Structure 1
Amino acid sequence: MAELTRDEDNLVRELSSQAKSLAMRDKRNLAYYDGVNRLTHLGISVPPKMQVLEVVVNWPRVVVEAIGERSDVKTIRRGGALGADEDLLELFDANNLAAQMVMFNRDKHVFGRAFLSVGSNEDDPDFPLITVESPREMSVKVDRRSRRITAAFKQVQEPGSVLGQMQTFGVLYLPNTTIWLSREGGGWKVEDRDQHGLGRVPVIMALNRQRTGMWTGRSEMADVIPISDAAVRTLTNLQLGLEAAALPRKWVIGASENDFVDREGNPITKWESYFSSVWALANENAKIGQMPGADLSGFHDTAYLYGRLAASVTGFPASYFGHVTGNPPQEGAIRAEEARLVKTVERSNGESGKALAWALDTAERFRTNEWPAGNRTVVEWHDPGTPTVAQRADALQKMAGGVPILSREGAWDEMGWSEPRMQRERERFEMQDADPAIQALMTKVDGLG
C-alpha cells in the first residue's frame, strides 16, 4: 500500500497538532453544555457527605438551544429565481439536512465552529452525501487570501478487532484527492485514495462570531459561563444553608440524654426527638427553647441578580434565566424584548446559510460534474421572532390603505408555509378548477353565505 508523500505527512502532523491545541477548550465547552462541569472544577470545596447538594445551573445550554430553536430552514432557491429550486430541495431532503442542520448549528454555538463534508454516494450517485462532521474530530488549513480551505484532516477512534482496544482512523481531504488512513505503529498507513479532481476541498466550515485573522470561532456560551459559575456557587451555598441553618434549632437546658425516652423507657434517637412536634420531659428542671432559622432571602436576590446579568450580556429576555413577572407581556412587548435575540439568530442563520449553500453547490458539482454558475444559492430561514401575525397583518393593511397588497401565494409565504405545503395547495386549486362538480358546490356555498 502506498505511503503518504512528505507534503501530505506534514499536513497530517500540522492539522493533528491543531486539533490537540483545541481539545481542552472543546472538552470544557462540551462539559458546560451538558451540565456536567462539577463544583470541583470551580474551586469550591464541598464535604463528601454534602456532595449530593451540588447544583449546576445550565444557562450555557439555554443560550445554545434558544438560538437553535429559532433557526429553521424555510426554502432554498437560486439567486434571482422567484420560487424554490427543486433540485436543491431534493438534495436537502435526501440528506435529511433539516435534522442535520440542528446538529450543525448546535456545534457552531457550543464549539465556535461547525463542519459539513460532501462526498460521492455509491448507493445513489444522483444524491451525493452531505454530512455534519464533529468539530472535535475535524481540523482545517485556511488560505487567508482566498479564504478557502486548502486541506482538512478528520481523525476518529473506533473499536478495533481486539476487544477493549481502539483503532485510530483518519481522512485527509485535499483539493483533488481524499485519502483514507489508519494508525499503525505510531505512523499512518494509506488505506485508499479517491482522485475526485474536484479542485476544492469538499469540507465547508462555519465560524461563530468570526473575527479578522482568526479561524476557530468563539463559543456562544463564552459570555454566560462566568455568570453561570457564580450562580452555581450561590445556589450550592443556598442548599448548604437550607440543610445547616434554615430550620429552627431547639435548645435544652437541665436535661440529660437519659431523659429522652419513650413510654416504655426505650431511648429515642436524636433525629426523632428533634423532628417531633411536641417535647415533654419528666425532669422539672429542664427548659426547652427555640432559635429562629436563618434568613436565606439574600441567596434568592443574588440568584435573580445573576439571571438579570445573564440576560444583559446575551441579549435574551430575562425570563430565559428565571426572572418571571406576574403578568405576561403583550405581543408588542415580546417583540421588543426579543430584538437582540432575533438579530443574533439572523446573523447566525446568515453564517450557517452560506455554509449550507456552499455544501449544496459542491454536491451539485459531484452530481453534474459542473459547478453552478456564481455563488447564487440562497438559503431562506423562517422568521426567528415570536409570531405575532395579527399585529403584522394589521400594520400592513393600514399602510396599504385597505387595498389588497398580497397575492395568494404571497399570503402563504407570509404565513410561513413550506414549499411542499404550498405545492399541495396549488394542486388542490387545480383540482377545484378542473372539476365542474366542485365548482358548482363552491358556487352554492358562496350563495348560501
Structure 2
Amino acid sequence: MALTSEEIDLLNKLRARVNKQHRNDELLLRYYQGRQRVEQLGMAIPPEMRRFLVITNWCRTVVDTINDRQQVRWLILPGKETADPKLRAIWDANNLSAHVSMFNADRMIFGRAFMSVGTNEDDPDLPLVRVESPRQMAAIIDTRKERIEAAARFYRKDGDRGSQARATLFKPNETIQVERGPEGKWIEVDRDDHKLGAVPIVMHLNRRLSGSWSGESQMTDIIPVVDSAARSLTNLQFAQEAHGVPRMWIAGVRKEDFVDERGKPIPQYEAYFDAIHTIANAAGKVGQLTAADLKNFETSMNVYRTEASVNTGFPGRFFGLNTTNPPAEGAIRADEAKLIRSVEAQNEQVGMSLGWVGALAMRFATGEWVKGNRVRVEWYDPATPTVAQRMDAVTKAVGSDILSREGAWDELGWSEPRKEKERGYFSRQAAEQAAVSVDPIGAALLRDAGVIAPVAGA
C-alpha cells in the first residue's frame, strides 16, 4: 500500500519540527556534556586563551542529581495497593530501570522525552517498551483531548545517506515504516494495522505551562551561571600565567651580559628561571616583583556557587560551597528540603507519563485497556536518609502497632521477591519453633545434625 498524500504531509510536517529543534537541542546537549562554546570570554582574555577554557559542568550536576533521586519502586493498577506482577515482568524484560533514567535525562536536558510501546514478536505477553530520542522525534497534539494525534521518528542506519533516511510514522490505528527513495520521496516499506485506537507514543514535556505544548530544559537557570564561572576560571589561568608567578627584574644590563662560565650567551628562558644570575656588568642589579594575590578569583567563584544554589534550590555543597565541619544527618535533610520537594513534584509529573506507558503496555499484553487508562507509580524517598534512621522509624511504628510486619517491609522498599523470601524464612522459623515445643529432644538432635537451625532463645 502506497503512502497517502495526508501521510506524506504528516511526515514532512513532523520532519520540519525535528529540524527546527536541532540547533537548540545540539546546544543543550553540549552544555550537559560540558563541551559548549562560551561566546563571550570577557575583555581581559585574548583570543589565544580560548584553548584554555575551563568549564564547571554544573549542568550535568543538576540533571544527574535529580535523576539519581528518581527511583521507581512499584507500578500499581488502579484500585490496587500492591505491585502488579505483570507490570513488573514487563518492566524487567525491557530493562526499564536503566531506560527510565535515560527518559529522565532527556526530559531535563531537552525539555521533552518520548517512550514508545510495540508488539514483541518473540513474546507477545511482554511488549517492547523503548525510550525514543527527542532529537529524532516529533508529535502532533490534539490540544482539547490532550492526546497525541500522530508522531514520527526520523533516523538512519549504517550505510544510509543523509541524517533522516528512514522514518516511522505512528498513527492511532497503524504504524508505518518508510524510507527515502532515489528522488528523495518517502516510500512505504511496511505497515502494521494494529487497530489500537491510540498512538503508542507517550510524550513528556518538562516545565510545561498552561496553553503551551513545548517543554523547557531543567538547565535553563544554571546555564548563565556556568558561562560566568567559565569566564572566571579562564581568567584565573591567564592571571596565573601573567601575574601568579613572581617576576624578575634586571637593570643596568644588556643581552650580551648573560654569559656562562665559558663566555657563551645564556638562552633567555634559562636566564629567566635560573635562581642565581651571573652578570658580566658590575653595574647590573637583579630584583623580584611580588606575585599577584589571586584570592579575588576564589571570591568570585563563591559568588557564582551561591547564585547556582539559589537558582536551582540545591544545597551549596553540590557546587563546592563546603563548611569546615561536615553537616550532621538532620542538617543534611534540612539542607536538602527544597531539592527533595522539587524531586517529589517532578515525580508526580513523570509518574503520570510512566503510568500512561504502563497502560499502553498492558493493552498490548492483555488486549484490554487498564481501567482509568493509567497505572499508578510509587517512588522511593528522594531524600538521603541513612539506614539507621529508616530502620529506627520503622521499628518504632511496628512496636506501636501502627505498622504491620509486611507494611514495614514496604517502608524499607523491599521488592516482592525479597518479601517472598522473608515469608519463607518466617514459615521455616515458625515450623522449627513448633518442633521444639512438641518434641524438645528430637528438635535438639535435628539441630545437632544441622537439619534445622538453632532457634533464638532456645
Question: How far apart in 2 are the matches of 1:43 and 1:317?
Answer: 28
Question: How far apart in 1 are the matches of 2:197 and 2:346?
Answer: 28
Deviates more, 1:267-276 or 1:207-216: 267-276
Question: How far apart in 2 are the matches of 1:165 and 1:443?
Answer: 68
3-state SS in 2 of match to 1:149:
strand
CA contact (8 A) 1:207 1:351 kept: no
Question: How far apart in 1 are the matches of 2:56 and 2:419?
Answer: 43
Q: CA deviation at 1:183?
A: 1.4
Tell me which of 401, 405, 409 is aligned to 1:412: 409
Asked if 1:429 corresponds to 2:426, the answer is yes
Which digits, 9 at most, give the CA deviation of each residue in 1:263-299, with x for residues without a partner? 2333322222222223232321001111111121111
Q: Which residue of 2 aligns with 1:168?
A: 165
Which digits, 9 at most, give the CA deviation of each residue in 1:121-162, with x for residues without a partner? 11221211000000001100111111111100111122226x
Counterparts in 2 of 1:8 and 1:376: CA distance versus 1, 3 Å = closer
Deviates more, 1:315-324 or 1:353-362: 353-362
CA contact (8 A) 1:159 1:167 kept: no
Q: Which residue of 2 aligns with 1:179?
A: 176
Deviates more, 1:344-353 or 1:323-332: 344-353
Question: Which residues of structure 2 form unaligned runs of 5+?
Answer: 437-442
Question: How far apart in 2 are the matches of 1:165 and 1:21?
Answer: 17
Deviates more, 1:288-297 or 1:103-112: 288-297
1:82 partner letter: E
1:335 partner letter: R
Which digits, 9 at most, give the CA deviation of each residue in 1:311-344, with x for residues without a partner? 0010001011111111111111111111111111
Q: Which residue of 2 aligns with 1:113?
A: 112
Q: CA deviation at 1:395?
A: 6.3
Counterparts in 2 of 1:167 and 1:17: CA distance versus 1, 3 Å = closer
Counterparts in 2 of 1:396 and 1:410: CA distance versus 1, 3 Å = closer
3-state SS in 1 of match to 2:156:
strand
Which digits, 9 at most, give the CA deviation of each residue in 1:8-53, with x for residues without a partner? 12211221122122111111110100110023x3465865653442
Q: CA deviation at 1:443?
A: 9.0
3-state SS in 2 of match to 1:28:
helix
Question: How far apart in 1 are the matches of 2:453 and 2:168?
Answer: 65
Q: Which residue of 1 aligns with 2:133?
A: 134
Q: CA deviation at 1:434?
A: 4.3
3-state SS in 2 of match to 1:30:
helix
Question: How far apart in 1 are the matches of 2:187 and 2:265?
Answer: 75
Asked if 1:65 corresponds to 2:75, the answer is no
Cα root mean square deviation, aligned: 2.3
Which digits, 9 at most, give the CA deviation of each residue in 1:219-242, with x for residues without a partner? 000000011111111111111111
CA contact (8 A) 1:181 1:190 kept: yes
CA contact (8 A) 2:249 2:286 kept: yes
CA contact (8 A) 1:172 1:178 kept: yes
Question: Which residues of structure 1 form unaligned runs of 5+?
Answer: none
Counterparts in 2 of 1:368 and 1:313: CA distance versus 1, 3 Å = same
Q: Which residue of 2 aligns with 1:275?
A: 273
Question: How far apart in 1 are the matches of 2:416 and 2:315?
Answer: 32
Question: How far apart in 1 are the matches of 2:8 and 2:122?
Answer: 31
Question: How far apart in 1 are the matches of 2:323 and 2:163?
Answer: 53
Q: Which residue of 2 aligns with 1:211?
A: 209
CA contact (8 A) 1:151 1:173 kept: yes
CA contact (8 A) 2:180 2:186 kept: yes
Question: How far apart in 2 are the matches of 1:122 and 1:412?
Answer: 37
CA contact (8 A) 2:247 2:289 kept: yes
1:169 partner letter: R
Question: How far apart in 2 are the matches of 1:198 and 1:247?
Answer: 71
Q: Which residue of 2 aligns with 1:359?
A: 357
Q: CA deviation at 1:377?
A: 1.6
Question: How far apart in 2 are the matches of 1:182 and 1:165?
Answer: 11
Deviates more, 1:52-61 or 1:420-429: 420-429
Asked if 1:446 corresponds to 2:449, the answer is no
Question: How far apart in 2 are the matches of 1:130 and 1:279?
Answer: 74
Q: Which residue of 1 aligns with 2:385?
A: 387
Q: Which residue of 2 aligns with 1:3?
A: 2
Matches within 5 A, 1:21-170: 21-39=20-38, 41-42=39-40, 47=46, 49-160=48-159, 168-170=165-167
Q: CA deviation at 1:310?
A: 0.4
Q: CA deviation at 1:375?
A: 3.4
Q: CA deviation at 1:402?
A: 6.2
1:341 partner letter: L
Deviates more, 1:209-218 or 1:387-396: 387-396
Deviates more, 1:42-51 or 1:120-129: 42-51
Which digits, 9 at most, give the CA deviation of each residue in 1:57-95, with x for residues without a partner? 111111000100111111112233232110000000001
Question: How far apart in 2 are the matches of 1:200 and 1:375?
Answer: 11
Question: How far apart in 1 are the matches of 2:428 and 2:323?
Answer: 51
